[in-house]
Amino acid sequence: MYQLILRGTRLGDEVLDIGVQDGTIARISAGIEEGAGREIEAQGRLVSPPFIESHVHLDTTLTAGEPRWNESGTLFEGIRIWSERKKRLTREDVIARATQLLRWQAAQGVLHVRTHADVTDPEFTGLKALLEVKEKVRGWADVQIVAFPQEGMLSFPKGVELMEEALKLGADVVGGIPHYEHTRELGVESVKESFRLAEKHDRPIDIHCDETDDPESRFLEVMAAEAIRTGMGERVTASHTTAFGSYDNAYAFKLMGFLVKSGINFVANPLINITLQGRYDTYPKRRGITRVKELWQNGLNVSLGYDDIMDPWYPLGTGGMLQPAHMAVHACHMTSRKEVTACFDMVTENAARTLGLKAYGVAEGNPANLVLVDAPDRWDAIRRLAATTLVTKDGEVISETSPAQTRLMGEIVDFRRGEE
């Protein structure tokens, strides 16, 4: 007897049953004969490990329109609106919004989330609230918090001390924002400071790096150099790196070699990058996104995040991770059969590497954290932005969704090629 059996799940090219016992994946095989406390018919749906949000700001989420909507759509109007909204930030406000978003995400199978928390605030209102949220949701969502110096580490009064204090309070990851420091020199120094803090406190690094269309913004090379020097590569993540999309090819090709040597991780945020970048161009307008396809082709680990969900920088979003994956297919020209599937991996397996997760994946012995997606494979999941129909956390079903059903002139249409 198992605690739970998912029957007829699609795993790779096979249709298999998954038996769960004591919250763990006990067996994966065709036709498990024993019974279970609960049995669920997957009907050939794709089974996947949980989706992962590798870059979001839970302290700003769900504030779009407060106190006003971003009319120009630019990063800078977003910053002005946020500085107004920030004045009435409270613990309760952050806890309520962050929890709501995490609930939306868990309902769609997102059980691991890396959030940035603005620590250029001597009160640490956002960080302290997110630390509380992290504890509160621990039973169903795993949250990592990055100490993020939104207004600069060396250009903001006592920025380094604030970072240090944030890590002592419990932030999991060291952030940075070198392209927003007042000078190139301060930016370079800030990257080195992030590495110093990470080594001192034994934490991973995730830096907002070169989030601009400025082809002269070259802090990624500093990150690579520091990662090579310290040997920290696999614990280091460069988020955004949108300027890489604007670098001259001669420089970009040289840089790619150093990046491969460094072994660092990348997070692109296709929905927000394509929305916020290119705003100062007339035509042709740049896509303003890092070289996702080329990084992936060179064997570097790339994952995808939202960045913003209904806040001053981006008014849309539900938290479902197939949306950024779908946008990556378009904005990064990832349209071949293999490339579309790779975009699914960028919101699951690759993101697990970025977050340093252990025991992740649909394999015997791992925690029974599973999602069923209403599609036969990863490719089709992205094509139809398919619903997540079932989510289990440690073997308990925590979310169920009935996919929409359409009838045309009395007959069901399921949008699959060759349907009857």
d(CA 52, CA 45): 19
Closest approach of Fe ion to the CB of residue 179, in Å: 12
For residue 229, what are the CA distances in angstroms to 232, 260, 266, 356? 8, 14, 18, 20
Q: Tell me which residue has its CB nearest to Fe ion.
A: 307
Closest approach of Fe ion to the CB of residue 208, in Å: 5
Q: Which stretch binds Fe ion (CB under 5 A): 104-112, 149-157, 281-289, 303-311?
A: 303-311
Residue 237, both tokens: 């993540």
What track of x and - describes contact with Fe ion for positions 255 through 294 (by CB under 5 A)? ----------------------------------------
Residue 241 or 262 with smaller CB distance to Fe ion: 241
List, in order, residues 6 or more apart from 272 with CB less than 8 Å away. 306, 307, 308, 313, 314
In which element (H, E) is residue 103 found? Answer: helix 91-107
Q: Which stretch binds Fe ion (CB under 5 A): 218-226, 288-296, 302-310, 333-341?
A: 302-310
Confirm if 290 and 241 have CB atoms less than 8 A apart: yes
Confirm if 349 and 359 have CB atoms less than 8 A apart: no
d(CA 48, CA 364): 13
Residue 17 or 307 with smaller CB distance to Fe ion: 307
Active-site residue, selected from the candidate residues 211, 226, 339, 349: 211
Q: Which stretch binds Fe ion (CB under 5 A): 73-81, 283-291, 301-309, 377-385?
A: 301-309
Number of residues that bind Fe ion (CB under 5 A): 1
Closest approach of Fe ion to the CB of residue 169, in Å: 20
Q: Is 211 a catalytic residue?
A: yes
Confirm if 74 and 272 have CB atoms less than 8 A apart: no
Closest approach of Fe ion to the CB of residue 381, in Å: 25
Residue 210 or 307 with smaller CB distance to Fe ion: 307
List, in order, residues 6 or more apart from 142 with CB less than 8 Å away. 111, 112, 113, 357
Confirm if 153 and 176 have CB atoms less than 8 A apart: yes
Residue 408, both tokens: 């045309």
Closest approach of Fe ion to the CB of residue 156, in Å: 17
Closest approach of Fe ion to the CB of residue 370, in Å: 29
Query: Is 172 a binder of Fe ion (CB under 5 A)?
Result: no
* CA 102 from centroid of its chain's CA atoms: 13
Please state the φ and ψ torsions of residue 273, each to the nearest 5 degrees. Answer: -60, -45
Which alpha helices (DSSP H) does 29-179 contain, by range?
75-86, 91-107, 125-136, 159-169
Q: Which stretch binds Fe ion (CB under 5 A): 43-51, 85-93, 187-195, 300-308?
A: 300-308
Q: Which of residues 27-66 bind Fe ion (CB under 5 A)?
A: none
Closest approach of Fe ion to the CB of residue 55, in Å: 6
Residue 179 or 393 with smaller CB distance to Fe ion: 179
Closest approach of Fe ion to the CB of residue 369, in Å: 25
- Write the single-letter amino acid at 77: E
d(CA 96, CA 48): 29
Name 311's bridge partners: 314
Residue 239 or 348 with smaller CB distance to Fe ion: 239
- Write the single-letter amino acid at 323: Q
CB-side exposure of 22: number of CA atoms within 13 Å? 4
- Looking up tokens 């067996």 gives 27
Residue 213 or 307 with smaller CB distance to Fe ion: 307
What DSSP designation does 342 have? H
Please state the φ and ψ torsions of residue 193, each to the nearest 5 degrees. Answer: -65, -40
Give the residue, chosen from 59, 151, 307, 349, that forms a contact with Fe ion under the rule CB under 5 A. Answer: 307
Binding site for Fe ion (CB under 5 A): 307
Would you please indicate which residues are annotated as catalytic (active-site) residues? 211
